[in-house]
Amino acid sequence: MLNIILMGPPGAGKGTHATWIEKQYQIPHISTGDMFREAMASGSELGNKVKDIINRGDLVSDELTCALVKERLSKPDCAAGYLLDGFPRTIPQAEALEKMGKEISRPVTLVVNISCPDEELIKRIGGRRVCPKCGASFNVNSMKPKVEGICDECGAELIQRKDDNEASLRIRLENYYKSTQPLLDFYKERDLLADFDGMLGKEKLKVVITELLDSKK
């Protein structure tokens, strides 16, 4: 069973790899960041609650985030596997996920971590452009769309995320090292962690991640 968490600092390539994993293995891609951005775009109560927090690069509360994930993971399409991207990000979230995984009989079976040095993350985030409609991610320097400014997947106009600026990124990286990186030990202790080098490049990484996921199917 592929009940996967995709981990890594902002800009490591989680969204990029989630896109092909979702298609190749037919499992839903659950990105808490995308869910929050959708809520913000629709102007819902949740969106208004999290807007300022997200734009300045801080983390949304564990309580709100865990409730959102529990509801999503309980849906029927997660019965045959799921791919979590951007969750968990704190130890309390990982503990809550462990508990809900048992409750709904959908425990995490694998954690794929993509690491990447800060200089590279800063470079990538500066050039990142995303599709507000389908969530696909591109880069004006290294992963250009076929037509400038247009999403290859769905044809929508690409945008730069509001939190992809220097000040927010600094806070996001601080939060990553303080709150999220300790999760690597949490999952290593549970023998679930597989570590990959984000500097390998998209195609090579795809090959090695595929090898691993095929062995776990």
Catalytic residues: 14, 89, 128, 161, 172
Nearer to ligand AMP, 32 or 113 (CB): 32
Instruction: Kindly list the distances between the CA atom of residue 96 and the CA atoms of 75, 107, 157, in Å, as whole numbers in the listed order.
Output: 17, 11, 37
Classify residue 95 by burial, with Cβ atoms within 10 Å: 0-12, 13-18, 19+: middle
Q: Is the peptide bond before 88 cis (omega within 30 degrees of 0)?
A: yes
Q: Interior CA angle at 34 toward 33 and 37, to 5°?
A: 85
Among 3, 16, 32, 139, binds ligand AMP (CB under 6 A): 32
* 67: nearest Cα among 94, 96, 42: 96
Nearer to ligand AMP, 14 or 106 (CB): 14
Whole-number minimum distance, CB 160 to ligand AMP, in Å? 13
Please give the residue whose beta carbon sits closest to ligand AMP in the complex: 33
- # residues contacting ligand AMP (CB under 6 A): 18
Whole-number minimum distance, CB 202 to ligand AMP, in Å? 18
Residue 86 near ligand AMP by CB under 6 A: yes
Whole-number minimum distance, CB 211 to ligand AMP, in Å? 26
Options 59-67, 103-111, 145-153, 183-191: segment touching ligand AMP (CB under 6 A) = 59-67
- What DSSP designation does 116 have? -
Question: Are the C-beta atoms of 60 and 54 separated by less than 8 Å?
Answer: yes
Residue 82 near ligand AMP by CB under 6 A: no
Residue 60 near ligand AMP by CB under 6 A: yes
Site for ligand AMP in 142-201 (CB under 6 A): 163, 172
Nearer to ligand AMP, 80 or 132 (CB): 132
**In a 3-state reduction of DSSP, which class is residue 187?**
helix
Question: In the block, which residue shows the tokens 């927090």?
Answer: 53
Q: Which residues contact 189 (CB under 8 A, 6 or more apart)?
A: none
Question: Are the C-beta atoms of 42 and 133 separated by less than 8 Å?
Answer: no
Which residues here bind ligand AMP, judged by CB under 6 A? 10, 32-33, 36, 53-54, 57-60, 65, 86-89, 93, 163, 172
